[in-house]
Structure 1
Amino acid sequence: MAQQSGFGRWIVVITAVSAAIMELIDTSIVNVGLNDIAGNLGATIEDVSWVVTSYGIANVIVIPMTGFLQKYFGRKNYYIGSIILFTLASYGCGISTDLWTLVFFRFLQGVGGGALLSTSQGIMFDAFPPSQRATASALFGLGIVLGPTFGPTLGGYIIDNFHWSWMFYINVPVGILAVFLSLTYVEKKPDEIDIDRRQIRIDYFGIILLTVGVGALQYVLERGESDDWFDDNVIIYLTGAAVVAIPLFIWWQLYGTRSPVLDLRVLKNTNLAVGAILLFVVGYGLFTSVLLYPLFVQRIIGFTATKTGTMLIPGGAIAAFCFPLVGKILSKGVSPRYVVMAGYVVFATFCFMMSTYNAETQDPDFLKALLVRGVGLALVNVPLINSSVSTLAVAELPTGIAITNMMRQLGGAFGVAITNTYVTQRAAVHRGDLIVNTSPENPLFTDRINALTQGLASKGINALDAVTGAYRNLDLIIQKQSLMLAYLDTFKLAGLFFVVSFPLLFFIKNRKMDAATAKAVADAAH
């Protein structure tokens, strides 16, 4: 296949990165708008969370199957078809007048979106010669980080200034342009031109097991906390489905079929097995930080949605600056393992920095922490993916890359689940610890109640209501303090994940990809 060059090459880059960013933005853009969507559609907050859950379930089901789907339909056809599906589903989300129509279109959006993330990098890599693939990988990695980072920024601006439906309508012109550019500039690989689908065996049973197992697991992780975990029958049934389907899927892929939809034998490769675990941790850190930071600054500090998002921009800018540098470092022959080690240390530093903040923390401190986060993400994402697949045979690369993508996505889902659960549990613990001090024998408590009572009385409130109001205000203060301490504990927990998993980096073998392997990664990656 001929290499793209000049103007055409950069059109392919812009198209591929934009499509990936568009998909990843939609994983987080609606988070800041759930209250508005619930109010407009007459839904409860619990039900409207399906807008997020349905997208995540579809994503995590499609991602591991993309290798097979690209082979069956041809990469260019599959890519363009996915953009069309994503764009039409985005429009469907925007025009939805009831919750479950919106949930349906969000699921379709997730199906198309999972394919966008999984095919964009390979298409972009084909525009570069092997010597420049590290730079291309860095450019794509930038999109991986900027999508979840800028999703809340864009969502907050739209919610504060426009109708929530514009969170979906903005995808439509981008999708139409991406389809046109892909038809014009993206070339087919030789093996895409004459596909004989009669020769391709479809692992129907494997697809069903993967869909049931991974879909059920994703649902349990995303909905468990809000549905009271095993007090809810649906959670119990789907946990059972995951427990049965996932081991059966593993057995079927290893021993039950000659044409597995996801050949798990590649996990015998040490680099891939260790890299998959580490990418799970990276997904946990990426999505947890995107979830925790807005909650902390909005509920504790009092930021607006727009300011919350705007504060993320400098961190995204430093990541944009660092990604090309990472690409150059890798292209010079520096071991990806050392770059990932640095990224682990930097990202853990961000988590521990955030765990020391409080309600009096000023904007510059948050900016400093978010800048550290941007550097950490730039150092860890692309080098870790490259290390994970660097020792695979060429034929194993599509499956290896599908596994790394799935593990990063599952890490994000696990991160959201453990964050919600841990925050709830720690807030209850801290509230209990603080309430112990609310005793009449405690002079500090008595002084605080008297001060609050006098403050309310000075505003013309009668003595009895002033005392009642003082106790109510103190209870709200305790709630806020408990929640703040729970957030700090959760940031610390995220940092510990990176610390505990750090020794696994020493099990990754140092190997620089040769040109043939780099080209194969280009054909199969993401």
Structure 2
Amino acid sequence: MASQENKFVRIIIIVTTISAAIMELIDTSIINVALNNISGTLGATLEDASWVVTAYAIANVIIIPLTGFLSRYFGRKNYYLASIIIFTIASYLCGTSSSLWMLVLWRFVQGLGGGALLSVSQGILFEQFKPEEKGIAGGIFGMGIVMGPTIGPVLGGYIVDNYHWALIFNINIPIGIAAALLTWKFVDKQPEEYHINRKAIPVDYTGILSLSIGVGALQYVLEKGQSEDWFQDETIRYLTAAAVIGIGLFIYWELHTKNPAINLRVMKSINLIGSNVLTFVCGFGLFGSVYLFPVMVQRVMGYTPTEAGLSMIPGALITIFAMPFIGAGLGKGVKPIYFVCAGFILFILHGYTSSLATAEAGKWWFTLTQVCRGLGTGFLTVPLLSQAVVGLEPKDMPYGISLNNMFRSLGGAFGIAIMNTYSTNRFATHRNDLISNLQGNNPLMNSRLESITHGMMAKGINPIAAKQAAVGNLDFIVSGQAQMQAYLDGFLLISVFFICTIPFMLLLSNQDMDAETRAKVAAAAH
């Protein structure tokens, strides 16, 4: 009877942790297909609406590397339960937001709560399995972390097409309540949690505060620099200074303080530096392309949010199918660098092929590009994490893994911000170029205007109004073409970023890991 009860508790804990992790991951991608709808409903520009995505990413970047410290300070169960509650309450407040900036604020709070739902869930889940069953645990959790981004765009598209966008956040509420209750009832405290002496645990306030200020200020500069004319704006100048000082102080302090919140000393490993740079670019390409694609196909090609979400499924499915083979290859001793090289090639192909699309491109064209992205993601995610800890002492591996995850999240935040700014800038450039060709003596333009004008007059519109409508119609066409070219330039920029960072592969170590270390890394990766 006791055995059956233990199995029941084990199943409950597995379901709870996987559900919490999937819920957090869904929220990183579900919002992308709804940005167009949110910007219209709340009376904001798409560029401002992208803050809804970026605020969540910034909070994740700040909180993920701090989860180890927060778990020790508050106790893992207490911190995990509090994070679920914060995430759930913030989800409700996101759904009730009446302005864009209120939504951005609660998305940031939601991201702070969501940071633990992934990393702490992993530790709780793995405790339910024996050492020889860690591979099974990794497979279960790995499938969960891939399912989240897969479900997100499709679910988001369906909700936006059929209901109010607020439901995107409200669906978290029953899941969050259930997860909180099950965690409170069934997740046990660790032995050391009964004797936590918080006074004996030093809090690195300087490191935490400088990291928050530096990353937050830098993200604002990236997001608003283009619209505020960069350093012509006083706020941008002040926040650029705050970003430089904050990040500089954070690096200096973490390297010199006795008890750092994030141990940057492990970065003395050249291999880890190379791995983190490549991981940053991987996050940049993945999140940047996932941001660009649904916006482009909705605004330029007329896709519904549901169609935009469904178009992203091939990439996610190919990742799910590829990951077991990649994990098996790493387990058998295949060097991660081989997967990394293949992943870079696939991402370069994804960006370049996407940049060749036209407004008339069919769904099969984008299926090919999404497959390249999906395979590239699979070939880079776990292998780069495996490569990052090569050569590190066992005691330093958790810090190496934490930093690698932080660089991936930071790359994603940069990717969204830079794609947003870059596409806005390129839109203005392409529009000006196109308009410069529309001179009054251009026979093709005059012929097009006459054709549109006659068509409207045939519908009973008077000649003056028809002429004005024709000019407006032509302006709409020009704006659409400029917008399409701007998004395509964004995809090409992703390829350029990957190409420019290829030399960092030379920093990667050729040293192999033993079987035990590979098992630890595989577990931590999931």
Please list the CA deviations of residues 319-348 of structure 1 after superposition, one character each: whole Å capped at 9, or x if unmatched. 222222222222222112211221221122
Superposed, which structure 2 residues align to 1:206-355 within 5 Å? 206-255=207-256, 257-355=257-355
Contact preservation (8 Å) 1:353, 1:369:
yes
- Contact 1:122–1:522 (CA under 8 A) maintained in structure 2: no
How do residues 93-104 of structure 1 correspond to structure 2 at under 5 angstroms?
Answer: 93-96=94-97, 102-104=103-105
Q: Deviations over 1:334-376 (max 9, x none)?
A: 1122112212211221211211110111122222222222222
Match runs of 1:43-54 below 5 Å: 50-54=51-55
Aligned to 2:394: 394
Aligned partner of 1:376 in structure 2 is 376
Query: Cα 1:118–1:279, aligned 2, differ >3 Å: closer, same or farther?
Result: same
Against the structure 1 CA distance between its residues 259 and 327, is the aligned structure 2 distance closer, same or farther, given a 3 Å change threshold?
A: same
CA contact (8 A) 2:222 2:421 kept: no
Which residue of the partner structure matches residue 439 of structure 1? 439
Evaluate the alpha carbon distance shift between residue 50 and residue 376 of structure 1 in structure 2; reply closer, same or farther with a 3 A threshold.
closer
Q: Is the 8 A contact 1:135 1:324 kept in 2?
A: no
Residues 98 and 484 (structure 1 numbering): CA distance in 2 closer, same or farther, change over 3 Å?
A: closer
> In 2, are the aligned partners of 1:351 and 1:492 still within 8 Å (CA)?
yes
- Supply the AA of the counterpart residue of 2:482: S
Aligned 8 A contact 2:153 2:309 in 1: yes
Q: Tell me what 2:154 maps to.
A: 153
Q: Give CA deviations for 1:101-151 in whole Å, capped at 9, x if unaligned.
A: 544433321111112233233333444556665665565455445434543
Partner of 1:165: 166
Letter of the 1:56 counterpart? A
From the superposition, tell whether residues 14 and 283 of structure 1 become closer, same or farther in structure 2 (CA, over 3 Å): farther
Distance 1:34 1:263 in 2: 37
Would the aligned equivalents of 1:134 and 1:330 in 2 still touch at CA under 8 Å?
Answer: no
- Shift of residue 247, structure 1, vs aligned partner: 0.8
* Contact 2:150/2:317 (8 A) holds in 1: no
* Paired residue secondary structure (1:360): coil
What is the rounded CA distance, in whole Å, between the counterparts of 1:437 and 1:100 in structure 2? 39
What is the root-mean-square deviation of aligned Cα atoms in Å?
Answer: 3.0
2:498 aligned with 1:498, yes or no? yes
Q: Is the 8 A contact 2:331 2:519 kept in 1?
A: no
AA paired with 2:88? T
Moved more, 178-187 or 52-61: 178-187
Measured after TM superposition, the shift of residue 62 of structure 1 is: 1.1
Instruction: Say if 2:16 and 2:182, in contact at 8 Å, map to a contact too.
Output: yes
> In the alignment, what sits opposite 2:69?
68
Separation in structure 1 between the aligned mates of residue 85 and residue 23 of structure 2, nearest angstrom: 13
In 2, distance between residues paired with 1:161 and 1:300? 21
SS in 2 for 1:261: coil
Whole-Å separation in 2 of the counterparts to 1:392 and 1:450: 71
| C-alpha contact 1:60 1:218 (8 A) present in aligned 2 | no
Q: Does the 8 Å CA contact 1:141/1:378 hold for their aligned counterparts?
A: no
Counterparts of residues 446-465 of structure 1 (less than 5 Å): 446-465=446-465
Deviates more, 1:202-211 or 1:101-110: 101-110
Q: More displaced, 295-304 or 196-205?
A: 196-205
d(CA) in 1 for partners of 2:41, 2:482: 31
Q: Structure 1 residues 519, 44: closer, same or farther in 2, change over 3 A?
A: same
CA distance in 2, matches of 1:8, 1:287: 36
Letter in 2 for 1:249: F
Counterpart secondary structure, 1:486 = helix
Q: Which runs of 5+ in 1 are unaligned?
A: none
Question: Structure 1 stretch 47-56 or stretch 302-311: which is displaced more?
Answer: 47-56
Aligned AA for 2:23?
A: M
Paired AA for residue 277 in structure 1:
V
Structure 2 equivalent of residue 472 of structure 1: 472
Aligned counterpart, 1:23: 24
Distance 1:148 1:226 in 2: 30
CA contact 2:386–2:518 (8 Å) conserved in 1? no
Other structure's SS at 1:301 match: coil
- Distance change in 2, residues 1:525/1:363 (3 Å): closer
Give the C-alpha shift of residue 269 in structure 1. Answer: 1.0
Deviation at 1:450, TM superposition (A): 3.0
| Residues in 1 aligned to 2:262 and 2:293: alpha-carbon distance in whole angstroms | 35
Q: What is the deviation of 1:79? A: 2.2
Report the CA distance between 1:286 and its aligned residue.
Answer: 1.0
Amino acid in structure 2 at the alignment position of 1:152: P
Provide the C-alpha distance between the structure 2 equivalents of 1:371 and 1:328, rounded to a whole number of angstroms. 21
Call closer, same or farther: CA 1:383–1:201 in 2, change over 3 Å.
same
- Residue of structure 1 equivalent to 2:3: none
Contact 2:355-2:488 within 8 A present in 1 as well: yes
Structure 2: distance between partners of 1:239 and 1:302: 38
The residue matched to 1:26 in structure 2 has which SS?
A: helix
Tell me the distance in 2 between the aligned counterparts of 1:98 and 1:216: 22
| Distance across 2 between alignment mates of 1:22 and 1:282 | 23
1:278 CA displacement: 0.8
Give yes or no for contact 2:50–2:420 (8 Å, CA) kept in 1. no
CA distance in 2, matches of 1:500, 1:135: 38
Question: Aligned partners of 1:448, 1:251: CA distance in 2, in Å?
Answer: 62
What secondary structure sits across from 2:392 in the alignment? coil
**In 2, Cα distance between the equivalents of 1:44 and 1:500?**
32
CA shift for structure 1 position 198: 3.3
Structure-2 change in CA distance of 1:98 and 1:75 (3 Å): same
Q: Kindly provide the amino acid, as one letter, of the partner of residue 263 in structure 2.
A: D
| Deviation string, structure 1 residues 150-176 (Cα, Å, up to 9, x no partner) | 433222211222222211121122223
- Between stretches 109-118 and 507-516, larger displacement belongs to 507-516
1:467-506 C-alpha deviation (Å, 9 max, x unpaired): 3333322222111111111211111111121222223224
Deviates more, 1:318-327 or 1:466-475: 466-475
Other structure's SS at 1:27 match: helix
2:343 partner letter:
G
What letter matches 1:290 in structure 2?
A: V
Tell me the distance in 2 between the aligned counterparts of 1:375 and 1:310.
Answer: 17
Deviation per residue, 1:5-50 (Å, 9 max, x gap) = 9776665554434322321222333344456556666777676555
Following the alignment from structure 1 to structure 2, what is the Cα–Cα distance between the partners of residues 162 and 400? 43
Gaps of 5+ in 2: 1-5
1:309: Cα distance to partner? 0.9
| Cα distance, 1:260 vs structure 2 | 0.8
- How many residues align? The count is 522
Relative to structure 1, the CA distance from residue 199 to residue 402 in structure 2 (aligned partners, 3 Å threshold; closer, same or farther) is same
Q: Distance in 2 between matches of 1:487 and 1:363?
A: 17
Quick check: 1:66–1:402 contact (8 Å CA) kept in 2? Answer: no
- 8 Å Cα contact 2:146-2:320 kept in structure 1: no
8 Å CA contact 2:64–2:115 kept in 1: the answer is yes
Question: Kindly tell me: are residues 514 and 176 of structure 1, through their superposed partners in 2, closer, same or farther at Cα, counting changes over 3 Å?
Answer: farther
